[in-house]
Amino acid sequence: MTTVTIRPGTMTLADWRDVWNGADIAVSDHAKPVVDRGAQAVRDLLASGRAVYGINTGFGKLAQTRIAASELEELQKRLVLSHACGVGAPLPRRVVRLMMALKIASLGQGNSGIQWTTVKAIEALLKAGVDPVIPSQGSVGASGDLAPLSHLAAMLMGVGDAEIGDERVSAVEALKRAGFEPLVLGPKEGLALLNGTQFSTACALAGVFEAETAFRTALVAGALSVEAAKGSTAPFDARIHAVRRHQGQIDAAAAYRGLLEGSAIVESHAGCDKVQDPYCLRCQPQVMGAALGVLRQAAHTLEVEANAVTDNPLIFAEGPDAISGGNFHAEPVAFAADMIAMAVCEIGSISERRLALLMDPALSGLPAFLTPAPGLNSGFMIPQVTAAALVSENKQRAMPASVDSIPTSANQEDHVSMAAHGARRLLDMTANLHCVIGIELLAAAQGIDFHDGLTSSRPLEAARRTIRSAVAKLEDDRYLAPDLAAATELVRSGAVIAVARELPGLETAR
């Protein structure tokens, strides 16, 4: 198992992808001195007698209320408990672990005034496989992801529930099994734990990683569909894309050329009189390249955000100073999530159009609905309906979240980002996309099966073998739900792209 060492402020997108894929997690001890300085700065500020928001005052609209020194620990405890108001289905454990790792990366930069023992407590939970149960709804993406992050903080205090192994147990029981005592939070610690954008950022990172896998598989599916329809390869000519200049388009076109190189199917119709293919085949580099550019921009934003300090107030040891600002406002994450959602929609939309083309004899030259005996058999008629339903569902979900706002906290927090639900929808959307692409893979493989034994290129034949190892050719109608599930898993797992040539991804942006 890979171990990702969290180096606060310097993490890469590849690091976070490894965390998403289940890597073990450790925090670099190089962070300890700066964290210790931040904690000492909080003690110095308290000793100075100054009123400092969140340390010895109330919160939000109650910021003008001064809290006595004897009540500071109780202040942090009550803050966490009062803010742990999440509702809805529990967040997937993979996202919870990503959120916890992101929290370590933020706290580990020393600007949160938190103690090193608290940072190490989160690391210890991750190492022990103890995952807080985090309700997925309740954040508006400003003042931080308060409700979900409060459930993380509450679990550290022994409040709420956790998952350990295959069991859901009380937080107290989970801590006991892992050999930990509940934390007693010091001044500023509760606020530092529950303030920040780590919930939204974790959900958005999960979304962009799943979208990247879907994008790369869709390139393979699109190339297979070109082969099934005996489409032209001229639209992938490098000269076309060089004069357009968009790097994503250039990279996508190069991927299609590489996937189709050496195909006997391409050679078999080199002299045909077909002039142009429909857009879903011909404009793949333009559509998929634009989607790639958007995903790369979103990924860059999230990489920056994952290295950011996003709670409030921020502690600066020089001085010392505690400065109230707005780094908890997740507007960058909201925009990134909206971009990912739009790209997911378009990748699925053009995939479904290729699927529809393959079933139409007038466009594909293949038997109707890709069955040897149309009429007696329905073939791929209803899988296309399923794909259409999922594409339409994704369109409905893609309404930009970032254009919405609703005031909270008696108008103190009067403009919010809505990053949380903008990012939270992405895993459902990418799950839909995986299924759409999986259906196209089956249909394209079925279409190529009608080409009288002609073979495609090496990478596409490898992809076809992978598809056929999971799902047999459709001769006569059968119960198709297991086939669709198997094809979806091929997409989700990355099994198809693993056997193809190197394909463009998020890190290849220039």
Hey, which residues are catalytic here?
53
**What residues does 90 pair with on adjacent strands?**
135
Find out whether 194 and 146 touch, Cβ atoms under 8 Å. yes
Find out whether 218 and 288 touch, Cβ atoms under 8 Å. yes
Name residue 118's amino acid: T
The closest of 457, 450, 501 to 265, measured between CA atoms, is 457
Maximum Cα–Cα distance for the chain, whole Å? 87
The closest of 442, 384, 495 to 221, measured between CA atoms, is 442
Query: What sections of 23-145 are H helices per DSSP?
Result: 32-48, 72-83, 93-107, 116-128
Q: What's CA 479's distance to the chain center, in Å?
A: 32
CA angle 57–181–54, rounded 5-degree value: 10
Instruction: For tokens 């989607």, name the residue.
Output: 291
Q: Which two structure tokens, joined as six digits, stand for 491? A: 């997409």
HSE-up of residue 307 (Cα within 13 Å, Cβ side): 13
Name residue 390's amino acid: L
